[in-house]
Structure 1
Amino acid sequence: MKNTSNFSVPGSGKTATVLGTYAYLKANNLANKIVMIGPKNAFGSWIDEFTICLPTETKRFYLNIHSKETNSVEKRKFSLKFDSGNKELILVNYESVNSLKNELLEIIDNQTLLVFDEVHKIKNPEGQRADASKEISKNAGRIIALTGTPIPNSYVDIYNLLNMLYPEDYKDFFGFTKNELKKVDIDTMDEINEKIKPFFCRMNKDDLGVPKAEEDELLKVHATEAENQLFKIIKQSYQNNLFGLLVRVMQLESNPKKLLEKIDYSDLRGIIDDESYESADVEVVDYSEDVNVLIEQIKEPVKVKKTIELTERLVRENKPVIIWCTFVSSIKTLENRLSKKGIKVKCIYGEVELDERLKLIDDFKNRQFEVLITNPHTLAESVSLHMVCHDAIYFEYSFNLVHLLQSKDRIHRLGLKSNQYTQYYFLQQYYEYGGKEVSIGNKIYQRLKEKEVVMIEAINNDVLESVTSYEEDLELIFGEVLLI
């Protein structure tokens, strides 16, 4: 098939499969370059895997339009026009497709293998990104769409995908309107799956012989009296705003002083879907003076302390560690505390430039430092760390299953030795509330496991999984707490 999709799980070798396809096409004079549209974090992996799979004597076989030299739209346009002619791998991020549309149309031809990596990024059917992506696809010789999570929100997420791959046939063959895909019943779901089944392949890690990870280690942390008191105040203040309640509890566990500040909306990307936080209206509640007193009593949150202790132990055992957070403030807090302990630590988050990210990833792989702290929104896609790191600590995590699975797969991927362990540690803080022990972290974890089972069953049954809204997830997570 000239145009097709690979929905195999993260870490299953989708990039290498594309490179194998390209090698075949090139040998038969059917392609002379790959144009890869994807997240910037994927660039390093594409370059590394191309070097491994298709050794070349030419060091500059690729064009990265987000290098230090191309730091403006005009420079990127110039580079695509005049520097792309002898390149076999051209790397463009989704955010730039619209501004570079005309230049991409000039270089994408019938000898181009056009690849959309993490294609679920193009999910808004009315968005400029979707329109530009469909436009640049029309002249490509072949198109491959890659994602381990084809429908992170609802079945409407496949609308753009199918229209990019089969624009002339979508209406006649598939024919589903956007409204039909937004709310599907069981019969419609069966019909959709039956129609799209011939157009994608999907493998899981068991199919590929990836050794199973160890059972998750859930680390129970008991809140201090001050933290218990603050939890009660937060619950009473935000019981009519479940999203606000979730955010504030996470802040209590990482940096209580953040409770007095307005929410940084850029941080919310790690909690709900990337483009949904216009519905997340979280304002500062005017607490009583008691809150300031309680916050001042917390010199170091117990979850921070437990994380530092665990990290110290792993480093003493000569194990590189990756720590996953949600908030940038949490990343900086842990970095500061670990540095004071004499541990070599580096951070990657949204403000870190692409070139610096790639350097830090290489340095971590080469054991130049011991601990990497990051968040799923920044580093959960298309980065391979499994050859050097086998321990991941989840200091913060949300009910975003896509981010969790992709972050896990940074260290659990195709290529591991059969006897290699992979260990995940989940910090879960417990509060005394209403005569019961309550842990929001444990509730989120249990909800994630339920969603993961749904996804695995869908893969095994060769269908696309059904999904829930984040509002439904919040009600499931906080339901018991709100009844107390």
Structure 2
Amino acid sequence: MEDLTVRINSYLEREGWSVALIGLANTAVSRAAEQAKSFQRTRQSAAEFRSGQAQIDLPSVRAALSDFGWDDDQRRLLDHQEQGLIHGLTAVNSANFSVPGSGKTATTLAIAAVHFQANTIDLLIVVGPLSCFEPWETEAAAALHRMVTPVRVRGSRERRRELYQSVQPRQVLLLSYATAAADRPQLTNLCDSFKTMLVVDESHRIKRFKGGVWAPALQEIAKHTRVRTILSGTPMPHSGRDLYSQLTVLWPSAQLTGPRDTFAAEVDRDFGRVLQRVQPFLTRTPKEALGLRPYQLVRHDVALRDTQKDVYDLIASGFRRRIERADLWSDKIESLRRGRPIRLLQAATNPNTLNNVEHHYRLPRLENPNPTLMERLATYADRETPAKFEVALEIIEPIIKSSGKVVCWSNFISNLDQLSKYLKDQLPVPIFQVDGRVPVGDEAEYDDPSPGDEGPQELETRERIIARFLGTVGPAVLITNPASCSESISLHHGCHNAIYLDRTYDGALFLQSVDRIHRLGLSPDTTVSVHIIRSTIDSLPTVDHLVDESLQRKEERLRRLLEGAELAPLAQEADPSIAADGDDGDLGELLRYLLGEDTSAG
């Protein structure tokens, strides 16, 4: 109602009317005018900071942190984090879009600590994916000890209602997006009762331009808060429109974006101009500023043999028959796409994956009219061990002998299951597995925003498994897939080795998974090793080599987008199966490979 009142008043004034405002209408228009002035003052201050013209009293900020109880020994802020801290204090409502693994959580906690010390806020609410809760708790314990108290908002509706009624100053409430949306009325009341700072972590997950319930709920909650911050390392996974919902959390009256349709038109017409307008409120640290040693990339080629070789050849022959029936090059490409090139990757890593459903990639169990192929698949698991398993074991053995930890990545759930069983039979060390079937912490135990009074169930969760993996004294192996663990998971404090049994054409997913072990917090002398296993047939390359070359071609562009200083959309596909199967260029190279042309893969 307030927004409507303000819009009507603005329209009448533009038309030359003299408007007499009384009661609630006068309050609404006066508040909107003050918000507009506040926005302009803040924009000017933020712009001066970004241009280097602002006079920053960094010693006073450091003193405020120290006075509040910040532990500089445990969490000394690096230069780029101090810059993020100053920017957040200057812009007030700010976006930290620094690269994944750059310490955004600690930076944001420092911003909150200064606000707590200044009595600008007395409550911090963090809304994000369930997997971000543990990092917030860990950072708060390390940097601020008992100066703030993290509280997971969890359980039944009644339990959450009781929690809201018992909130105390200097608490850090941790909520999932779903809980925040379900509890919007209680949260707006809470924000009216406390001086609240709102943080939306992994804010790109509320990017939906139209529809959805998370963004509108957060925008409404944001109107009742004093300070707002959004965090994301990949704020535009698809397009510039992804920014709209995030930026309207920062400034809920749309001062920064304007109306939704106007913003969309501006993004389509001149995205650079949009970025220039919102730039004062954004900060981004590139990966090169983290001072990390480059990771070592080691490639291992392994020859497919016997049944696995036969299965790969039969799958490839099936693709050749498909493309022979098409005349035009474009038709051949489309025929390849319909045949799902990821099937070749399955054969190259473990033919038994073809016998199973892979829901993430919309892959049913393979049904093929070729009786020879189906017979080979039916008996493969009993006949043979995948060649890549044996190479993975050879890589792992010296790592565990030196008491190291290693994470093994594969995109196929059934491959994770079989690899886990194989390594448990071969190695005298703990083997842990995490995939999409294992719920994220509060997703399983606590985060049920539906009615009911049932208490939390003690179920296995990803956080518990990863904590046990990292907490194991001595060597251990984690087996997982990028779809489950490529975001909001940190492994670098205990694990510095990764093995990829297979990779798809999705380059962004690969780089994000590498970031799990290659991120801020590594000691300068730590060596991070990434092992890529590629299959060969008769010493000739397979689809693994095509994927490898494709990812190398894409790497520079993706690193610029994922890790660079400039912001730009990633242009990722919403459907993961599309990215996994490859773009037109990837399919063109695959077509040449299947036709026997030299693709220079090696």
Same fold, TM-score > 0.5, yes or no? yes
What is the CA–CA distance in structure 2 between the aligned matches of 1:238 and 1:28, rounded to whole Å?
A: 69
* Alignment-derived partner of residue 84 in structure 1: 167
The answer to whether residue 297 in structure 2 is matched with residue 220 in structure 1 is: no
* Alignment-derived partner of residue 423 in structure 2: 338
Q: Do 2:410 and 2:501's aligned partners in 1 also have CA atoms closer than 8 Å?
A: yes
Going from structure 1 to structure 2, the CA distance change for 1:452 and 1:88 (only over 3 Å counts) comes to farther
Going from structure 1 to structure 2, the CA distance change for 1:174 and 1:11 (only over 3 Å counts) comes to same
* Alignment-derived partner of residue 16 in structure 2: none
Higher relative contact order (CA 8 A, sep 6+): 1
What is the CA–CA distance in structure 2 between the aligned matches of 1:319 and 1:84, rounded to whole Å?
A: 43
Shift, 1:22, TM fit = 0.7
Q: Do 1:150 and 1:158's aligned partners in 2 also have CA atoms closer than 8 Å?
A: yes
* Alignment-derived partner of residue 31 in structure 2: none
Q: Do 1:238 and 1:245's aligned partners in 2 also have CA atoms closer than 8 Å?
A: no
Q: Do 2:116 and 2:170's aligned partners in 1 also have CA atoms closer than 8 Å?
A: no
* Alignment-derived partner of residue 480 in structure 1: 589
The answer to whether residue 367 in structure 2 is matched with residue 289 in structure 1 is: no
Say which SS state the counterpart of residue 220 (structure 1) adopts. strand
What residue identity is the alignment partner of 1:229? D
The answer to whether residue 235 in structure 2 is matched with residue 235 in structure 1 is: no
What residue identity is the alignment partner of 1:308? L
What is the CA–CA distance in structure 2 between the aligned matches of 1:50 and 1:312, rounded to whole Å?
A: 37
* Alignment-derived partner of residue 143 in structure 1: 228
Q: Kindly tell me the number of residue pairs found equivalent between the two proteins.
A: 456
* Alignment-derived partner of residue 25 in structure 1: 115
Going from structure 1 to structure 2, the CA distance change for 1:27 and 1:234 (only over 3 Å counts) comes to farther
Say which SS state the counterpart of residue 229 (structure 2) adopts. strand
Q: Do 1:41 and 1:379's aligned partners in 2 also have CA atoms closer than 8 Å?
A: no
What is the CA–CA distance in structure 1 between the aligned matches of 2:571 and 2:199, rounded to whole Å?
A: 26
Question: Which structure: larger Rg?
Answer: 2
What is the CA–CA distance in structure 2 between the aligned matches of 1:32 and 1:204, rounded to whole Å?
A: 32
Going from structure 1 to structure 2, the CA distance change for 1:462 and 1:337 (only over 3 Å counts) comes to same
Q: Do 1:364 and 1:370's aligned partners in 2 also have CA atoms closer than 8 Å?
A: yes
Equivalent residues in 2 for 1:5-44 (5 A)?
5-44=95-134
The answer to whether residue 396 in structure 2 is matched with residue 396 in structure 1 is: no
Going from structure 1 to structure 2, the CA distance change for 1:440 and 1:104 (only over 3 Å counts) comes to farther
Going from structure 1 to structure 2, the CA distance change for 1:95 and 1:430 (only over 3 Å counts) comes to farther
* Alignment-derived partner of residue 88 in structure 2: none
Q: Deviations over 1:419-450 (max 9, x none)?
A: 21111112222357xxx944333333333344
Q: Do 2:98 and 2:286's aligned partners in 1 also have CA atoms closer than 8 Å?
A: yes
Give the CA RMSD over aligned residues.
Answer: 2.9
- Greater displacement, 155-164 / 239-248: 239-248
Per residue, is there more helix in 1 or in 2?
2
* Alignment-derived partner of residue 107 in structure 1: 190
TM-score by length of 2: 0.69
* Alignment-derived partner of residue 319 in structure 1: 404
* Alignment-derived partner of residue 372 in structure 1: 478
Going from structure 1 to structure 2, the CA distance change for 1:124 and 1:174 (only over 3 Å counts) comes to closer
The answer to whether residue 560 in structure 2 is matched with residue 428 in structure 1 is: no
Say which SS state the counterpart of residue 121 (structure 1) adopts. helix
Shift, 1:363, TM fit = 2.1
Q: Calculate percent identity across the aligned residue pairs.
A: 26
Q: Deviations over 1:290-331 (max 9, x none)?
A: 112322255122122222322223212321111122222222
* Alignment-derived partner of residue 382 in structure 1: 488
What is the CA–CA distance in structure 2 between the aligned matches of 1:23 and 1:448, rounded to whole Å?
A: 41
Equivalent residues in 2 for 1:44-443 (5 A)?
44-56=134-146, 61-66=149-154, 70=155, 72=156, 74-75=157-158, 77-85=160-168, 88-109=171-192, 111-125=195-209, 126-168=211-253, 169-172=255-258, 176-178=262-264, 181=267, 184=268, 188-214=270-296, 216-224=297-305, 225-236=309-320, 240=335, 242=337, 245-261=340-356, 263-265=357-359, 267-268=360-361, 284-295=366-377, 296-297=379-380, 299-341=384-426, 342-353=428-439, 354=441, 356-368=461-473, 370-431=476-537, 437-443=540-546
Q: Deviations over 1:373-423 (max 9, x none)?
A: 122232222222222111011223333344323321221121222121111
What residue identity is the alignment partner of 1:408? V
Q: Do 2:266 and 2:274's aligned partners in 1 also have CA atoms closer than 8 Å?
A: no
Shift, 1:113, TM fit = 1.6
What is the CA–CA distance in structure 1 between the aligned matches of 2:583 and 2:322, rounded to whole Å?
A: 13
Q: Deviations over 1:153-203 (max 9, x none)?
A: 12221121122222321454997443664xx46xx2322332232221111
- Greater displacement, 328-337 / 16-25: 328-337
Going from structure 1 to structure 2, the CA distance change for 1:387 and 1:238 (only over 3 Å counts) comes to farther
What is the CA–CA distance in structure 2 between the aligned matches of 1:25 and 1:447, rounded to whole Å?
A: 47
Going from structure 1 to structure 2, the CA distance change for 1:306 and 1:453 (only over 3 Å counts) comes to same
Shift, 1:461, TM fit = 5.7
Q: Do 1:308 and 1:337's aligned partners in 2 also have CA atoms closer than 8 Å?
A: no
What residue identity is the alignment partner of 1:9? V
Shift, 1:465, TM fit = 4.5
What residue identity is the alignment partner of 1:24? V
TM-score by length of 1: 0.85
What residue identity is the alignment partner of 2:589? E
What is the CA–CA distance in structure 2 between the aligned matches of 1:445 and 1:159, rounded to whole Å?
A: 35
What is the CA–CA distance in structure 2 between the aligned matches of 1:444 and 1:134, rounded to whole Å?
A: 41
What is the CA–CA distance in structure 2 between the aligned matches of 1:329 and 1:452, rounded to whole Å?
A: 28
Q: Deviations over 1:452-478 (max 9, x none)?
A: 422444565633255364469432222
* Alignment-derived partner of residue 274 in structure 1: none
What is the CA–CA distance in structure 2 between the aligned matches of 1:323 and 1:243, rounded to whole Å?
A: 30
Going from structure 1 to structure 2, the CA distance change for 1:249 and 1:130 (only over 3 Å counts) comes to farther
